[in-house]
Amino acid sequence: MTLFLLFCISFLLALPCCSNAQPSPGYYPSWRLRPVGFYHGFTNLWGPQHQWVSSDQSSLTIWLDRNSGSGFKSIRAFRNGYFAASIQLQRGYTAGVITAFYLSNNEAHPGFHDEVDMEFLGTKPGEPYTLQTNVYVRGSGDGRIIGREMKFHLWFDPTAAFHNYAILWNQREIM
């Protein structure tokens, strides 16, 4: 399974592994891992007018308005690794908006792809945000899904500050 790292339809997002934020508690990647500048590691998928890259390319802000959102993907594919992002969600009425941080090989295998993702489902004021995680193997939505979906109601306010989210994928497991 070889997957590309993608980010889609978000409001505020810092580039994975490049912000000053530390990785998720309890896991610190090897010293051999280094941040990559946005233009060296990623390419725009859509909505470049809804992207702002910092001058040192260490962070990216993307946003959604009535016309469009924004998305980008890694230039190279990965077979495993540690993928992290520092994300602050938009507060207020966001029902119908999904902020996603995911790995997919859909371009190479349309309709029969693998996917590992974190989706932040929009909400209404006063209701908690829901984080949905998905792991699919060999396609999705066709009745032959091999995978798992899980939903978590967040116990903290993901709009109050940036929070770190990560996927650790090795030969034995995906966390």
Q: Is 115 among the catalytic positions?
A: yes
Q: Which residue has the tokens 């489902």?
A: 121
Q: Which residue is catalytic, options 115, 127, 149, 173?
A: 115
CA distance 162 to 19: 10
127 catalytic per annotation: no
Find the catalytic residue in 107, 119, 149, 173: 119
Residues serving a catalytic function are 115, 119
